[in-house]
Amino acid sequence: MTHRKNRCQVTPLRYAADAFVTAGLIVVLFLGWETWFNSIVLNAGQSAAASTLSQTWISHAATAPAGSPADPPVDAAPGATEPLAVIYVPRLGSDWERTIRETVDTETVLNSYDAGVGHYPGTAMPGGVGNFAIAAHDSGYGNTFIDVSKLQIGDAIYIQTPDGWYTYRFRNFQYVQPDQVNVLNAVPTVNGAPAGARLITMTTCNPPFHAVERLIAYGSFESFQPLTAGAPAEIAATVASKG
């Protein structure tokens, strides 16, 4: 009598195929974690940390130094990884806010649960003459700057410090190679030129989920108001709701 081969017999080839499928599934799950779930968790943590810092400064507003739109106070840069400001960009979401820490170190600042945005050491501080330059991820680790490309001319960028609120207005984009660091110059992309204006430069990777080039968003300083004057009207309700 002829015996038929057992169709359920497991062969080395079947073992290998199963292993490849399992490995592929693990990779997909890992990418999903890094890209989506982990970013959702970090997004919430970074926003909550920024809100807590913002409210702490507001609670001490009576001691904040005075300043004016023409001559705003400018703090000295803090130590590495220390917080220096909270950034609000309404175009990125009505509740979007992040802590800005000194340095753009990946692990301690850009990937952290309580920051997400880093300040390039050596560039201007908020309100200072020169280029206040900051960086954040476009995707992953909170997706902090994933929607920066949606900014429109005139959009507000609010920077809160222990002194008050600095308002910048977005003016233009630039796309550059990853090694074009002269966008951080006092006059962006111009080597050796003395600082003459108060600017903000936001840098991130582009396109989202890749690092082929860098997206640069520039803004110009518009005004300053002390913490005792309250938050700028556009974000006043958001800030008050966190108190």
| ∠ Cα 102 200 49 (to 5°) | 45
- Of residues 173, 217, 174, 168, the one with CA closest to residue 197: 168
What local confidence, expressed as pLDDT, does residue 64 receive? 58
Which residue did the predictor score with more confidence, 8 or 189?
A: 189
Q: What are phi and psi of 166, to 5 degrees?
A: -110, 125
Mean pLDDT, range 223-227, rounded to an integer? 95
Which residue did the predictor score with more confidence, 193 or 35?
A: 193
Q: Is the peptide bond before 65 cis (omega within 30 degrees of 0)?
A: no
Task: Give me the amino acid identity at 234.
Answer: E
Positions annotated as catalytic residues are 137, 205
What is the residue extent of each domain of the chain?
Answer: 44-241
Instruction: Classify strands 130-135 and 83-88 as parallel, antiparallel or unpaired.
Output: unpaired
Residue 15 has pLDDT above 80, yes or no: no
What local confidence, expressed as pLDDT, does residue 211 receive? 80
Mean pLDDT, range 6-10, rounded to an integer? 49
What local confidence, expressed as pLDDT, does residue 22 receive? 46
Mean pLDDT, range 106-115, rounded to an integer? 92
Q: Which H, E and C letters describe the chain, residue by residue?
A: CCCCCCCCCCCHHHHHHHHHHHHHHHHHHHHHHHHHHHHHHHHHHHHHHHHHHHHHHHHCHHHCCCCCCCCCCCCCCCCCCCEEEEEECHHHCCCCEEEEEEECCHHHHHCCCCCEEEECCCCCCCCCCEEEEEECCCCCCCCCCCCHHHCCCCCEEEEECCCEEEEEEEEEEEEECCCCHHHHCCECCECCCCCCCEEEEEEEEECCCCCCEEEEEEEEEEEEEEHHHCCCHHHHHHHHHCC
- Of residues 139, 128, 195, the one with CA closest to residue 168: 128
Rounded CA separation 110/114 (Å): 9
Beta carbons of 89 and 96 less than 8 angstroms apart = yes
Residue 46 has pLDDT above 50, yes or no: yes
What local confidence, expressed as pLDDT, does residue 164 receive? 95
Range 44-241 has CATH code 2.40.260.10: yes
For residue range 116-166, list pLDDT tens digits in order. 999 999 999 999 999 999 999 998 888 999 999 999 999 999 999 999 999
What local confidence, expressed as pLDDT, does residue 97 receive? 97
Rounded CA separation 45/37 (Å): 13
Residue 243 has pLDDT above 80, yes or no: no
